[in-house]
Structure 1
Amino acid sequence: MTSSYQQQLDAKVERISAQFAEFNPPALEVFESPENYYRMRAEFRIWHTEDDLFYAMFERDADNNKKVIRIDEFPVADKSINALMPKLLSAFKADSLLGARLFEVHFLATLKGEMLVSLIYHRHLDESWEPAAKALAEQLNIKLIGRSRGKKFVVSDEYVVEELQVFDTKYQYQQIESSFTQPNAEVCQKMLEWACTAATQSDKDLLELYCGNGNFTLPLSTKFRRVLATELAKSSVYAAQWNIEKNNIDNIQVARLSAEEFTQAYNGEREFRRLQEANIDLTSYEFDTVFVDPPRAGIDDATLKLLQRFERILYISCNPDTLYDNLQTLSQTHKITKFAMFDQFPYTHHVESGVLLEKI
């Protein structure tokens, strides 16, 4: 491990340990990232000059003006993205159907080896673009999407299938273009193993809020009799259902509800046709654990009160500040018995945290 990576990791550990000291957590478990080639997603602007084009990013100078930074390699991103970048650039330069007024390129890679590339244009795309794009996709063995205002052309699929290993089991995940997925796959596998270890084995049921595409849902299902997972975004619900079927799991139901809506349904304040259509009977569940992985804004007050009713709360957080705020409420009824930090985003201030809370 290089000293620069160790220094930034140590600084995060010190910051998180100090921030949460008042809750008297156990020793912080720290999960490192690879130092390079760890990010499975990357987005670049395409910068056009009179006789050239290249990948670009931007930074602000001392006067807050944008400065164009040419990107020829990007060691933050997975090796497969770095290998593909120059090949795509050559194709853009060689064929105006592919390169003319190309604005952005988005990469989505997988540990399994699949690659999806989205090309965003500032010109009208028509059917003449498709043959060139299809030939490029076949040549480079990638999936390709073209976008312009009001148009979307999909060459083969608009998703990749990732494979994540949790202990001795491999899980297949459909990851859809523009939908959220954990960007650091190596650290994601560590997060999944930590969550499964924290959950322990139960003969009761798990409630999961904000389930996304089922990233945590699938491996956690091995620890419980049944799982009810909730998610509002339709594309994520469809991906979660695809993943459940693909992995031959039969003890998970997915409800298309927000956390706030589930709280209302569970408290008997509202009835939702979406539950009836999915043949979900809330009264048939006996939850002893709830798992949450909320957005950066954290959890609303009504849902926090709901969480306080369960024996165990597993909380994965992408924002230590909102986790800290939420713990002001949850620590009234629960204590932290496991505490973890996952370095999903090396060399940035961002931190993913995990806590297991058990009823006092």
Structure 2
Amino acid sequence: MTSSYQQQLDAKIERIQTQFAEFNPPSLEVFASPEQHFRMRAEFRIWHTDDDMFYAMFERNTDQQKTVVRIDDFPIADQSINTLMPILLAELKTNEILSKRLFEIHFLATLKGEMLVSLIYRAPLTKEWEGLAQQLAEKLNIKLIGRSRGQKVILSDEFVVEELQVFDRKFQYKQIESSFTQPNAQVCQKMLEWACNSVEKTDQDLLELYCGNGNFTLPLSFKFNRVLATELAKSSVYAAQWNIEKNNIDNIQIARLSAEEFTLAYNGEREFRRLQEAEIDIQSYNFDSVFVDPPRAGIDDDTLKLLQGFNRILYISCNPDTLHDNLKTLLETHKIVKFAMFDQFPYTHHVESGVLLEKI
């Protein structure tokens, strides 16, 4: 590792160890990132001058003024994105229809080599634009989407299929444009393996809250008899169901509920037609463990109370502050038996962490 990457990683380790020291956790397991080419997504503004256009980002000065920063390459992005960036830009520059009023370009790449590019405009997209964009997509062998206000033109697909390896298994995941996916695929694989290593194979069932597109659901399903996973966003539920079928897994059900709604249903306080339509009988499950990967805001109080009833809680967090706060409640009934940090976002203050809790 270079000294600059190691220094920022060491600073994160010290921060996490200091923040959680009051809970007396076990030794922190640290999972580093590649130093370069680790982001599978990148988004750029397109800056136009009288005789040129280029990729740009903005940097805030001390007086909060924005400065335009020209981007000719982007070392933290996957190599495929860096390779495509100048080629795509050169093609766009040669065509006035494709370049006029172009506002942003978004890249979504996969480890297996697929690429989805979204071109975002400040002007309506015409049939002529569509024809030229189709030619460009075929020439560069990419998937292409055009967007403008109230308009979305999908030329082939609005998704890529990622392939992640977890030990000796490969899992395929549909990743839809503009939907959340883990940006650092190589660290994501380490997170999946850590989660699977944290639980013993059992004939009991797993509850998962906030399952997204089934990122953790798929590999964890091999450790349990059945899995009931919840997710509210329709696009994520659709992707999760596609991923379950694509990977030939038959012991997972997806309930389109928020964590708060599931708590109400599980406690018998409210019935949901969505459960009946999906033929999901919550009471038929023999839950022993629960897996949660909540949003940055953490877990609400009622759901925390629900979690306290499980023997094991596996908690992945993208926000150490809310994890720390949630642990104040969860450690009333549980203890930390595994503690990990994943450097999902190098060179930023963001850090992903994980804990395995067992009932006292």
Q: TM-score, normalised by structure 1?
A: 1.00
How far off is 1:17 after superposition? 0.5
2:37 counterpart residue number = 37
Question: Does residue 333 of structure 2 align to residue 333 of structure 1?
Answer: yes
> In 1, distance between residues paired with 2:201 and 2:166?
16
1:249 maps to which residue? Answer: 249
Residue in structure 2 matched with residue 11 of structure 1 by the alignment: 11
**1:241 alignment partner AA:** Q
* Matched residue type, 1:116: L
**Separation (CA, whole Å) in 2 of partners of 1:226 and 1:97:** 53
1:279 aligned partner: 279
State the partner residue of 1:142: 142
Secondary structure of the 1:219 match is helix
1:358 to partner: Cα distance: 0.2
Percent of aligned pairs sharing the same letter: 79
Shift of residue 127 of structure 1?
A: 1.5
Alpha-carbon deviation of 1:62? 2.4
Structure-to-structure mapping, 1:307-318, within 5 angstroms: 307-318=307-318
Partner of 1:169: 169
The amino acid of 2:280's aligned partner reads: I
1:127 alignment partner in structure 2: 127
Q: Which runs of 4+ in 1 moved over 3 A?
A: none
Matches of 1:282 and 1:299 in 2, distance apart? 21
Which residue pairs with 2:240 in the alignment? 240
Match of 2:115 in 1: 115
Structure 1 counterpart SS, 2:127:
coil
Query: Hey, what does 1:65 align to over in structure 2?
Result: 65
Deviation at 1:340, TM superposition (A): 0.2
Q: How much does 1:141 deviate? A: 0.6
Q: Report Cα offsets for 1:296-336 as digits up to 9, x if no partner.
A: 00000000000000000000000000000000000000000
Structure 2 equivalent of residue 226 of structure 1: 226
Provide structure 2 residue ranges, at least 5 long, that are not aligned to the other structure: none
Alpha-carbon distance in 2 for matches of 1:157, 1:87? 21
Query: 1:200 Cα deviation (Å)?
Result: 1.6
CA distance in 1, matches of 2:311, 2:6: 37
Deviations 1:156-207 (A, max 9, x none): 0000000000000000000000000000000000000000000221110000
Alignment correspondent of 1:182: 182
Deviation (angstroms), 1:359: 0.1
Matched to 1:309, the amino acid is G
Structure 2 residue matching 1:20: 3-state secondary structure: helix
Note the 1:15-94 alignment, pairs <5 A: 15-94=15-94
CA distance in 2, matches of 1:195, 1:55: 38
Q: How many residues align?
A: 360
Q: Deviations over 1:129-180 (max 9, x none)?
A: 1111111111111000000011110010000000000000000000000000
Cα deviation, residue 128, structure 1 = 1.4
Quote the residue 1:160 is aligned against: 160
Partner SS, residue 198 of structure 2 = helix
Q: Structure 1: which 5+ runs fail to align?
A: none
1:63 and 1:244 mapped to 2: Cα distance?
Answer: 50
State the Cα deviation string for residues 44-66 of structure 1 (Å, max 9, x = none).
00000000000000001222110
Distance in 2 (alpha carbons) for counterparts of 1:124 and 1:174: 29
Question: Equivalent residue for 1:344?
Answer: 344
* Distance in 1 between residues matched to 2:68 and 2:200, nearest whole Å: 50
Shift of 1:346: 0.4
- Helix, strand or coil: the match of 1:73? coil
